[in-house]
Amino acid sequence: MSLGEQRDFRLFWTAETVSGFGSYVTTLAIQVLVVVTLHESAAGVGLVNAARFLPYLVLGLVVGVLVDRVRRRPILVATDLGRGLLLVAIPLLAMADQLTLALLVVFMVAFGTLSLLNDSASQSFVPRLVPRPLLTRANARLDQSDAVAQTSGPALAGGLVALLSAPWAVLVDAASFLASALLVARTRVAEPPSRSVDLRSMRQVPTELREGLRWVYRHRTLTPFAIGTHIWFLFNAMAGAALPVFALRQLDLGALGFGLLLALAGVGAVVGSSYAERLGNAFGAGRVSIACIVGNAVAWALVASSPGDSVLTWAVFGAGQLLLGVSMGAENANTMGYRQSVTPDELQGRMNTTMRSINRAMVVVGAPLGGLLADSVGLRPVLYVAAAGFLLVAAGLALTPFRDARIPQETSVANPNDE
């Protein structure tokens, strides 16, 4: 059984690669825009980061129910087109000298709403594209493409920002979303007919929502993993709010230098995702995930300890980014494949959106918190706190049944109490 035989997955894989490439350009461009163009502090970075994920907190659980009711391909196409149009507006407003932090926050809320719909449909679409034994391999391929985008995207973004300015760099992402929409529209996956979403049927939403929550939070192995992931996102958001200010102002790396060093995480992710399936088969998804979270902690500690000296700064900061990429690349394919493999198709949307929504809710809390703490106690302390938080998550998961989690190879979905 080979992924090469899965035509529709190849199209989807290409679409995700293209849009992922553009997204890494925008991620760095928006951070530079906030810090350099709008002259905001870490608190401003945290506010913009939180705005992007606020819809996950407010609408996430309901979106999961809706995604399980309708065909997923049309959602992917429509949301890609919508995000592309939104991004086109940013350079136009900047050109008219009308772009402010408040307006950027509004745009990020709208962008986040479309991303919420796309993410829920995307993660739930993969199990319809490939058979269960290929899920880890499929997710590893997606991670590898994302890693390649992560390698070149920030470096290109740094160059584009230096050449064109941050607002205009986001046009690359707008074009990538258009290309992604066209590729996904060409897939020929036979999806179940959409169920009714009229007012009468919507009365079942609370019941269906509870079904999704029960699946995630009463499952013997998914539950500890979900809770651990929520805490991971809290600390990661805190570090993410402090990082651009730390790199651009305290270390004085510049947009291009910052982008080049972030690209090392992509190099590491290529390596990590290339070995993800092999590691998962040898040690199990649970053990691989726990080891990789320890790697996250070490990586952030290295970044936080970057000295002011120019040569050592690049070496230590770069080593931290490289290790971060390796650990995240090896972890994501295993945990994503695991949670997809143990969840029935009719619950995929609710499972994915439940976990992702609470994860993003942690970003809504953690990003402003990290920014405020960085402004008050310093940038390095916040990065060290995040590293310590990742260690706590790894230690907690090691004490739960999740440490023995493996992706089942049979075609039936396991009972949550049999894991």
Residue 413 in domain: yes
Query: What range does the domain containing 247 cover?
Result: 3-188+200-418
SS3 content of the chain, % helix, strand, coil (to 5): 85, 0, 15
Per-residue confidence (pLDDT) for residue 78, from 0 to 100: 93
Beta strands in 340-391 (DSSP E): none
Give the angle subtended at the CA of 256 by the CAs of 386 and 305, to the nearest 5°: 30
Instruction: Report the C-alpha dihedral over residues 318, 53, 93, 43, rounded to 10 degrees.
Output: -60
Residue 194 in domain: no
Q: pTM of the full predicted structure?
A: 0.68
Q: What is the mean pLDDT of each run of 10 residues along the chain (419 residues)?
A: 71 85 78 80 81 80 75 89 89 84 89 86 79 76 73 71 76 86 86 59 72 89 93 93 88 84 84 88 93 96 87 91 92 86 81 82 87 90 95 96 82 41
Residue 360 in domain: yes
To 10 degrees, what angle do helices 310-341 and 222-245 make?
Answer: 150
Per-residue confidence (pLDDT) for residue 196, from 0 to 100: 56
Residue 193 in domain: no
d(CA 175, CA 167): 14
For 271, which DSSP code?
Answer: H
Residue 240 in domain: yes
d(CA 23, CA 169): 11
Q: Residue 314 is part of a domain; what is its CATH number? A: 1.20.1250.20
Q: How many domains does the chain have?
A: 1
Residue 315 in domain: yes
Residue 48 in domain: yes
Residue 305 burial (C-beta neighbours within 10 Å; 0-12, 13-18, 19+): middle
Residue 195 in domain: no
Per-residue confidence (pLDDT) for residue 197, from 0 to 100: 56
d(CA 316, CA 30): 25
Instruction: Report the C-alpha dihedral over residues 337, 339, 341, 347, rounded to 10 degrees.
Output: -130
